[in-house]
Structure 1
Amino acid sequence: MRIGVLTGGGDVPGLNPAIQAVTRAAIDQGWEVVGIRRGWRGLLDFDLDDPFVAAAEHTLPLTLQSVRAIDRETSTILQTARTERRTLEERTAHILKVIGHLKLDALVPIGGVHTLAYAAHLAREGVKVNTIPKTMDNDVFGTDYCIGFSTAVTRSVDAVNALRTPAGSHERVGIIELFGRRSGETALMAGFLADTDRTLIAEVPVDMEAVAELLLRDRTDNPSSYAMAVVSEGARLKGDDDVAYGEVDQDGNRRLGGISDTMSEEFKRLTGVGTISQKLGYLMRIGAPDALDTMVGRALGARAIQHIADGETGLMMAVRDGSYTSVPADICTTSERRVDVDAFYDSTAYRPRIRGIAGLPMFLR
């Protein structure tokens, strides 16, 4: 058999261990592995009129030697890209031809909701597909855990705690923006673990006057005269339906990012107190994966290949209630995974509310 593997969407730590595990497990079966560069765009941009040049540009043979040490590298060796799902679906016929030309018997796409949703579309078209969820937002429906989440939270906690120094020195309020478009789980966990004064998540509109009063009180109550808050990039001010603060990308989607600056200006206007506004952005993605993302990446990669060896495809690898399992590949399209506000958040105090945890999975889902 000939297996194709690709990584789509944003880069996260843990992708290379997954690629490594897919490659090793497939080669153990006596199969060949081909990496597809730049996610779905590698297939979308593949020029069938010049296949030799296209193959050199858009594919990468994967061998035991070539993946030997990639788990120590900090980003996907296959590169990654975002491609609008509508564009992909409109050109599915071309992509199917490319898959046929490359003689791929099965695909293992690794990505977030959009990457996996298109994989499910291909599965309905007859392509043998097993998918692996990854995203710092941890928002793929059908699994409790996505590769990249643990490392992103760890990086965020480290950065928030480091920013306490300038916030305290200047007696300001730190407003730290984290990734999290529709789900505030990354901010919720980072705020909880860094013990920030307030945590603003994408699921709950921010009443800026109330938050300003709370943060001002937090600053007054702190002997070092500072306060810290984290905010999801997808959070919005109460009464403001527009959470798209950034520029339009190549696919016509408006990038998020900038709510920390908006909140900072509003806080200064309401209180007269200075702030430190910081967008962590890609700093959440840097560095090698932590132990959990390495472990989960390797486990899900090997499991995807084992299913193919058993003749089982059309599946998404998953973690549920602390156990590895598999679910239908299209489950990620059936609902959204967001923070359970009633269970884990205090919408009045703007803080995580972690109470009874008996019987709950490790990531409180």
Structure 2
Amino acid sequence: MRIGILTGGGDVPGLNPCIRSITLSALDRGWDVVGFRRGWQGLLDIDLDDPATIAANSFGLGRENVRGIDRQGGTILHTSRLDPRTVDGGDRTDHVLNVLDHMGVDAMVTLGGDGTLRFSAHLASLGYPVVSVPKTMDNDVFGTDYCIGFATAVSRSVEAISRLRTTTESHERIAVVELFGRRSGETALLAGFLAQVDRTVISEVPADLDKLLPLLDEDKRSNPANYAVLVVSEGACLAGERQEQGLSKSATAREDVGIGFRLARQIETRTGHGTVLQELAYLMRAGEPDALDRMVGFAFGGLAVQLIEEKRHGRMLALKNGAYTHVPVDTLLHGTKIVDVDALYDRDAYRAKLAKIEGMPMFLY
């Protein structure tokens, strides 16, 4: 048996522990493991008539080259954002399948977010053995309560917000902290709650400045230290605006300034208070994984190999109500995962609300 591994989309802490777990679990069964570089891009860059391209875009994974990687952030396999069905020149699914067949890869384990796993589901629909592993710091893959990378992103955000308080207080301003989260505001909601910020604007609820700004003004004035903190999801918008599209573009490719900047400008213009504007951005996904993302990465890796051994292909790994499980690989195609606003968010106060605790899972959603 020979299995392949790739990572696609944005990097997150916890990918390397999962890669190590998959590799060691497979080696314990006497299998071979090959890692493909740069996600689906690596397979497209392989020319079967040119062995050098195979060496440049794939390599064998053994005990030595996965030793210690669980302590590292990012992914040793590197990554890309690419769907082989949408490249210049048309659908290249056949090329991917030909490469896998030529290299003797019997099954693939794919680690990625919505984009990467959509193509995984496509391969599975064609009969190719695939097990997919959800990862994204936004935690927005439909079909699982948890994605690798989410806990570390929240922890990084809480730490940064807490540190930023010293500067914000010293200058007696309003801090505006923008966090990643295009479609879902879960990262901002949970980080804002754990850091006990004054207000949080999430992607699911437009910010009405006529309501939000007086609240921030009162937050600052009622604080003996004379400052306030606002957290906002990058995918949020102001009431009356059209929600931003194309947020997967790099920052330099976007034509408009981000929501954090627009909110800070409105705060200064309409309240007269100075602001401290901070986009955490890639720092949320930088560095080593926390304990939870290591644990989930290890567990998902072991489960992926168990499913392949049992020939239970076409599955996406998941955490549901605190338990490890798996769902059909195309589950993510059939819904959208966003914050349950009615249960977890006060639209008028721009704050998390905990209406019910008993029976809720650990992350309160």
Q: What's the TM-score once normalised by structure 1's chain length? A: 0.96
Residue type of the alignment partner of 2:350: Y
Return the alpha-carbon distance in structure 1 between the equivalents of residues 244 and 17 of structure 2: 34
Q: Which runs of 4+ in 1 moved over 3 A?
A: 244-250, 253-257
Return the alpha-carbon distance in structure 1 between the equivalents of residues 256 and 290 of structure 2: 26
Q: Deviations over 1:79-137 (max 9, x none)?
A: 01111464168111111111112211000000111111110000011110001111001
Aligned to 1:351: 351
Aligned to 2:31: 31
Change (3 A) 1:118 1:245: closer
Aligned to 2:294: 294
Q: Is the 8 A contact 2:189 2:202 kept in 1?
A: yes
Q: Is the 8 A contact 1:177 1:232 kept in 2?
A: yes
Change (3 A) 1:247 1:81: closer
Aligned to 2:59: 60
Aligned to 1:200: 201
Pairing of 1:6-45 with structure 2 (within 5 A):
6-45=6-45
* 3-state DSSP of counterpart to 1:87: coil
Return the alpha-carbon distance in structure 2 between the equivalents of residues 116 and 233 of structure 1: 23
Q: Is the 8 A contact 1:247 1:255 kept in 2?
A: no
Residue type of the alignment partner of 2:128: V
Q: Is the 8 A contact 2:182 2:247 kept in 1?
A: no
Residue type of the alignment partner of 2:106: D
Change (3 A) 1:249 1:149: closer
Q: Is the 8 A contact 1:243 1:256 kept in 2?
A: no
Q: Is the 8 A contact 1:18 1:297 kept in 2?
A: yes
Residue type of the alignment partner of 2:82: T
Structure 1 portions without partners, runs of 5+ = none
Return the alpha-carbon distance in structure 2 between the equivalents of residues 207 and 55 of structure 1: 54
Q: Is the 8 A contact 1:12 1:134 kept in 2?
A: yes
Please state how far the C-alpha of 1:256 moved relative to its aligned partner: 8.9
* 3-state DSSP of counterpart to 1:46: coil
Return the alpha-carbon distance in structure 2 between the equivalents of residues 246 and 328 of structure 1: 28
Q: What's the TM-score once normalised by structure 2's chain length? A: 0.96
Aligned to 1:282: 282
Q: Deviations over 1:158-195 (max 9, x none)?
A: 00010001100111000000000000000000000000
* 3-state DSSP of counterpart to 1:66: helix
CA RMSD of aligned residues (A): 1.8
Return the alpha-carbon distance in structure 2 between the equivalents of residues 347 and 289 of structure 1: 32
Q: Is the 8 A contact 2:201 2:207 kept in 1?
A: yes
Question: Structure 1 vs Structure 2: percent identity of aligned residues?
Answer: 53
Q: How many residues get paired?
A: 362
Aligned to 1:79: 78
Pairing of 1:154-233 with structure 2 (within 5 A):
154-233=155-234
Change (3 A) 1:172 1:354: same
